[in-house]
C-alpha cells in the first residue's frame, strides 16, 4: 500500500489493478479499513462505474503483470479465483457467488447489514457486470464490430 517513489507502479488494467513494487516489502500487522461507501447512493454510483470497468477488462483484457496461481501469494490466489469465477457462464456465476458468500461463508450471521451488503456486493454487482458484458456482446453481433471497437464506441476508451 505504501512504497518509495520510483520503486513501484500500478498495473495497466481497467479493473482490479495491483501495484508492482521493486525491492523489499513488509506486511502490515493491522487491518486496513476500506470504507467503499457511506451511503447506498454512493455505493450504486461507484459500482456502476466499476461494473463497466470490470466488464471491459473481462472482454478486452489488458494483460496482467501478476500471474494467477492457486498456491501463490494472496494477490496471485485472488487472480486465480477470479479466472475460475470467469470460467462460469454469465448470469449463473453471480448466483453461485452469492450462495457461496452468504451461506457457505456465513454472511447470514452479519444480520440485516450482512444481507444488504452480500446481496448488493455478491449478487447485484456481479449480475450487473454480466449484464454489461451481455449488452456489449449483443451490440458487437448487431453492428458487426470488434469488442474493442464497441467498447470504444460505448465508453469512449482511449489508448
Q: Average the pLDDT over 116-132 and give the result.
A: 96
First-last CA distance in the chain: 27
pLDDT at 159 over 60: no
Four-point Cα dihedral 137, 54, 79, 1, nearest 10: 160
pLDDT at 79 over 90: no
Q: pLDDT tens-digit profile of 17-39?
A: 667 778 777 777 888 777 767 88
pLDDT at 56 over 80: yes
98 CB-near residues (< 8 Å, 6+ apart):
118, 119, 122, 123, 126
pLDDT of residue 62: 74
pLDDT of residue 12: 65
Q: How far apart are CA 11 and CA 18, in angstroms?
A: 6
pTM for the whole thing? 0.82
Amino acid at each position: 500500500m505504501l512504497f518509495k517513489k520510483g520503486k513501484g507502479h500500478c498495473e495497466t488494467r481497467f479493473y482490479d489493478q495491483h501495484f508492482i513494487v521493486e525491492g523489499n516489502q513488509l506486511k502490515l500487522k493491522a487491518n486496513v479499513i476500506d470504507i467503499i461507501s457511506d451511503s447506498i447512493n454512493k455505493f450504486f454510483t461507484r459500482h456502476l462505474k466499476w461494473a463497466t470497468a470490470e466488464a471491459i477488462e473481462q472482454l478486452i483484457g489488458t494483460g496482467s503483470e501478476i500471474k494467477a496461481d492457486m498456491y501463490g501469494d494472496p494477490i496471485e490466489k485472488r487472480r486465480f479465483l477470479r479466472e475460475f469465477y470467469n470460467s462460469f457462464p454469465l448470469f449463473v456465476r453471480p448466483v453461485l457467488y452469492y450462495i457461496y458468500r452468504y451461506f457457505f461463508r456465513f454472511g447470514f450471521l452479519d444480520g440485516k447489514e450482512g444481507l444488504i451488503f452480500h446481496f448488493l456486493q455478491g449478487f447485484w454487482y456481479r449480475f450487473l457486470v454480466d449484464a454489461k458484458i451481455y449488452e456489449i456482446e449483443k451490440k458487437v453481433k448487431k453492428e458487426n464490430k470488434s469488442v474493442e471497437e464497441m467498447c470504444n464506441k460505448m465508453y469512449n476508451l482511449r489508448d
